[in-house]
Structure 1
């Protein structure tokens, strides 16, 4: 209840009389708030304060403030009253806090925090009520003083905080007593003890509240919190974790330490949410990163390779997340990962090379060129590509699962894959072997004879081809081999699916651009046009010839020269009389339909089906046209010499010998080693009714690879020259080093050019007078229009 019993209010201008009533009321609010105060008494106090502040008398208006905690001195003037009341309030707070301060004497650790926190709560709650009680003092006298630039004048609540800071906090905090008690509680919690987190939070929040901006008391700062608490807190945190981490590392494994560090960092982040100010988070996290991660980065980097070898996905993710916390943490991991991927890829290829027929000889031969050539020759394309894909897939899974697809690790994976895909046990120093093997693998997938890949999974298999293709440096080599093999599949009607072929071309076009696949797409166009041409030819012949005349089932592919990687025949050829009428009819039909066009017949690529009527069993022989020409000669006689066959067919020795050798090997013709005569085998037998005699010759395959590489070299030479001319035409003049750099950059999407080759192309263009050296500047070239 109110201490003043008189119902009559004192004179409004008499500050002493006013404070005699107002002072005890304020003291009750500040010290005995729980006892309560009825509304009438509260309004009496409010009215008393209001009347005093609105009274006007000479010499009580404008005022100055002395030093912090001092009283207000009056100046002459007729204005609002408030300085004396403000001074009384200051004196009350100081007196009150002196009593509060006595209660903290002799206290330390948790008891000190409990006392400080309880008194802070009571003091600030009471100050808020007093602030409302003296609202008119705030709105008028305090506002007027602040507007006139008076320093150290505050609203009542802020004044209460200023007084607490000066007359309570500074005394309790003397020699760090209060903050040390806080740090001790936090250390106990770090040691696993249960503490009263709300107590710590209450005291820390009080330090935040005491951060008052002297220039603008409406704005808080964190000076008290930062200087008195945050700085020693971070120092204590660093010392604590230095000692703990050093001791833990000395007695435990690196993986256990990573778990410990991970848990400690999480605890500290949670600690911010429990009782620290949010601005401390970044500093605390940085402190933990330096102490728990950076100080022990060396052992973490060293452990990384072991985790990779053991495929410890969880621990790899753990080390990744820890090392990503420091700027320099991930790069050493990326470098180790790149070396690991390269090592795994090379080992996978070497294992396949050693396991495949002939691979053991390569492995035993040592690191020389002979061993590499043997391994490359023995390498089966599907196994080779499978080994590359397995190495890539395993490490990509690691990047996605353990490194969360981080760009740096993906780049390291790509760099390592590019290295081992192009240079390994199978390829040796040549970068053309990998694209050749990949093209052969794609060829096997897209052939009708592919029984291992289901139609549903062919899409995935082609995606895998593109994974390896991405890393191929000499994409022009792949293009040449793929183009050659596609041509064979189309010419021999051996494609498993037109949709799959179109799908693959679409993928290549997306990866390398329209120009890369122009010829491939034109091949499909020619196949469609050929079908239309053959249909119209059959219809035309059916109208003008008897059925008996059309005794040969005939289909011709008419392919545009320049788009198909096909070579003209290297031998003369006499068309057998049995095929000649059909040949001539088609020639006349095509000439009439397309005047001015000339047909070049690629007999070496043509194939036939021949019925064997001379045997009891009616076999059908699948033959090349050259084999057909040889066999048809035996319609007149059962035995012929090589010379007679050469004369009859017109074939040269280089072509005829492999044909006769294949027919003799299949025992369709009989040939004695010391004889030049070939005899028709009238006792020929086979388990199959359809016998394929048109088998590839290994020597021809090897020569074909050599021929492809010759065309690659020629195309590269022309591409380099065209690129140089294009650059110089745009630049007019360019220095040697800059020209080399631009040429390499522009053609690297197709292949990795060698600097000597670029220099040679420049010299050739100078000889052709496309370029010239600028006089007086040896390293400067000028374009000649």
Structure 2
């Protein structure tokens, strides 16, 4: 075939192809047969290799697909022609778009958007159809050209997109983008807009961001879809869109805050953020969301933090949890912005705690219940605040903890006491009040909850060793005096302390319990011992043997044990030392008590008294009258302690003193009022009410 024959063949093919392309780009209906005719013309042209000296190869008839034996006759890409046809297609599309573009150069607003999107949709659809019947050209000639090093050759659809970008997009993109931004601004101002116009433009900008590599037909696929890089979209739409967004919201923020409260402003910000998310979801590319939201957050939140922090203080005072929750949600969007908010919360809680304790300080200094429950009230209140307003976020929980630690350890009560150990002392006394028999502080069903609340306060106490000291002393008194409401409650409280501070912290407390349990078994063994050895003159008594290293007791000064008790004490000492060789017993008489019976009264009475009171009363088995000096000399109790015991017995009317009249007894009799030469007699007048703390009386 000569050069003229080839040209004639190309012209014939192009005449038929261009006619078909014209119909396609005019969106005229095309039958499947007409489409296959176009496919056949391109195929036959590309497989014509006569110009290279070869014999003519098989062709396919119009409307027939390559197949059967025909496919075996197709040579490899080296014999494929197509450059002339490719260039004619390119020039046709360029001329076609130039003619259409001229009609839109003077358009603006929605007019230019309709013009652009309508022509884009038609052009894109038509280019896909054209790409389809040029499949063979794409797969063989374009592929071969690319492999040989050409980078200005694309598959037909991508080539069509490149022409659109150069001929249609470049002249019109400024006015198209501006029209989109105007519509978005109108929508932000609550106007109803045609979002399909914007989404059509966005689709066009995205698809125009093709790359060379993504535009080469794959040898293994029939059609290669382009992979957009978003470069066109980012440069020509997203960048001006974000700039426009910043300007719009900066002006809105300034204007809105002049006429509205910060709380209303925050509600507006939340609304705007939701709107922008919806905007992206509706008609922008998803990749814009992060940059858009960041920009809105910077303008509406970050740049207004000073006013927002001031509002946070007001909302805390007003206890508006829901408004604080919104404020926190928005501030959390800005990196590191919650740091200052946490400081504000911490200082507010600290000051509220200081103020609450100061209001109660007049009574709380000597009222453990009032003091601890005031603390708990503040903690409970702001614990709920952290839950409701700040979603228990770790940083705000830590702020609450810091604030509580500050006002619990340094407040009006600790200042009045002159030390920071007052808080652990009052907390220990509060525990003692709850755990004692007859406590009216709380119902039994609520006691475990009270223990949990105690641990809340305990965890904030800095001087935990001081708490341990006071708690240990009070526990010892409860156990020795058999004043505990329940061993189970005692063990529960110790278990919670152990969980908080470890085994070593509670080891002495647990040893106290062990001693009480061992003592119960020991007294049973002693009674068996007495029966076995026929010790009939032993006073019925119980004893607690306590480890000296675990109990907060010190040995009392010596005194003369009455003959009535001496035999029993000696008997038990012998029994114990036989079982525990090498151990030494030290009697803690200051913590002992017992019953004595009056044989000289009618009716008779059982007096429940301390050991020291018992020693004094038993003197009257020898003489009916003593001087104070004689009694002290006989008992050898230290003078100051002896006078305390004597004062209590006189006030209770168990003994009388001729030198002290009833009026003095009814008033506040002091130890210093009792002289050593005063005469003391036993009293048989029990008609008056007897209710003093160190003894009790019951009729017998």
Is this a same-fold pair by TM over 0.5? yes
| Partner Cα distance (2:456, 2:323) in 1 | 28
Cα pair distance change 1:609/1:392, threshold 3 Å: same
**How far is the alpha carbon of 1:228 from its aligned partner?**
0.7
* Correspondence for 1:678 among 677, 680, 684: 680
Q: What secondary structure sits across from 1:228 in the alignment?
A: helix
Corresponding residue for residue 320 of structure 1:
328
Alignment of 1:130-279 (within 5 A): 130-173=130-173, 176-214=174-212, 216-217=214-215, 218-279=226-287
Corresponding residue for residue 479 of structure 1:
468
For the 8 Å contact 1:446–1:495, the answer to whether it is kept is yes
Length, aligned pairs only:
642
For the 8 Å contact 1:242–1:291, the answer to whether it is kept is yes
Cα pair distance change 1:148/1:11, threshold 3 Å: closer
* Correspondence for 1:501 among 462, 479, 490: 490
| Partner Cα distance (1:346, 1:614) in 2 | 60
**How far is the alpha carbon of 1:215 from its aligned partner?**
5.0
Alignment of 1:288-327 (within 5 A): 288-327=296-335
Instruction: Please state if 1:668 is matched with 2:654.
Output: yes
Using the TM superposition, name which of 97-106 and 466-475 deviates more. 97-106
| Normalised TM-score (structure 2) | 0.88
Alignment of 1:280-679 (within 5 A): 280-354=288-362, 356=363, 376=365, 379-428=366-415, 429-545=418-534, 549-550=537-538, 552-569=539-556, 571-671=557-657, 672-673=659-660, 676-679=678-681
State the Cα deviation string for residues 694-733 of structure 1 (Å, max 9, x = none): 59xxxxxxxxxxxxxxxxxxxxxxxxxxxxxxxxxxxxxx
**How far is the alpha carbon of 1:617 from its aligned partner?**
4.4
**How far is the alpha carbon of 1:38 from its aligned partner?**
2.1
Alignment of 1:704-783 (within 5 A): none
Cα pair distance change 1:268/1:611, threshold 3 Å: farther
| Partner Cα distance (2:353, 2:516) in 1 | 40
**How far is the alpha carbon of 1:478 from its aligned partner?**
0.9
| Partner Cα distance (1:46, 1:12) in 2 | 20
Alignment of 1:56-135 (within 5 A): 56-58=49-51, 79-135=79-135
Q: What secondary structure sits across from 2:564 in the alignment?
A: coil
**How far is the alpha carbon of 1:686 from its aligned partner?**
5.2
For the 8 Å contact 2:425–2:466, the answer to whether it is kept is yes
Instruction: Please state if 1:49 is matched with 2:35.
Output: no
| Partner Cα distance (2:37, 2:236) in 1 | 42
**How far is the alpha carbon of 1:413 from its aligned partner?**
1.6
Q: What secondary structure sits across from 2:413 in the alignment?
A: coil
Structure possessing the higher radius of gyration over alpha carbons: 2
| Partner Cα distance (1:609, 1:148) in 2 | 118
Two-structure CA RMSD over aligned residues (Å): 2.2
For the 8 Å contact 2:515–2:546, the answer to whether it is kept is yes
Cα pair distance change 1:405/1:243, threshold 3 Å: same
| Partner Cα distance (1:469, 1:406) in 2 | 22
| Partner Cα distance (2:17, 2:321) in 1 | 73
State the Cα deviation string for residues 639-680 of structure 1 (Å, max 9, x = none): 322122212322111211111111222222223447612232
Cα pair distance change 1:59/1:100, threshold 3 Å: farther
| Partner Cα distance (2:134, 2:112) in 1 | 32
**How far is the alpha carbon of 1:610 from its aligned partner?**
2.8
| Partner Cα distance (2:589, 2:503) in 1 | 32
Q: What secondary structure sits across from 1:578 in the alignment?
A: helix
| Partner Cα distance (1:542, 1:99) in 2 | 129
| Partner Cα distance (2:602, 2:124) in 1 | 118
Q: What secondary structure sits across from 1:463 in the alignment?
A: helix
State the Cα deviation string for residues 46-77 of structure 1 (Å, max 9, x = none): 1111111122144799xxxxxxxxxxxxxxx9
Off by >4 Å, runs of 4+ in structure 1: 10-13
**How far is the alpha carbon of 1:613 from its aligned partner?**
4.0
**How far is the alpha carbon of 1:554 from its aligned partner?**
0.8
Q: What secondary structure sits across from 2:399 in the alignment?
A: helix
For the 8 Å contact 2:508–2:551, the answer to whether it is kept is yes
State the Cα deviation string for residues 501-537 of structure 1 (Å, max 9, x = none): 2222222122212211111111111111111111111
**How far is the alpha carbon of 1:214 from its aligned partner?**
3.7
| Partner Cα distance (1:578, 1:296) in 2 | 87
For the 8 Å contact 1:621–1:691, the answer to whether it is kept is no
Cα pair distance change 1:534/1:314, threshold 3 Å: same
Corresponding residue for residue 219 of structure 2:
none
| Partner Cα distance (1:78, 1:482) in 2 | 99
State the Cα deviation string for residues 714-758 of structure 1 (Å, max 9, x = none): xxxxxxxxxxxxxxxxxxxxxxxxxxxxxxxxxxxxxxxxxxxxx
| Partner Cα distance (1:606, 1:643) in 2 | 24
State the Cα deviation string for residues 326-358 of structure 1 (Å, max 9, x = none): 22422222222221111111111111113x2xx
| Normalised TM-score (structure 1) | 0.78
**How far is the alpha carbon of 1:90 from its aligned partner?**
0.6
* Correspondence for 1:31 among 19, 26, 29: 26
**How far is the alpha carbon of 1:456 from its aligned partner?**
2.1
- Structure 1 gaps of 5+ residues are 1-9, 62-76, 357-374, 696-785
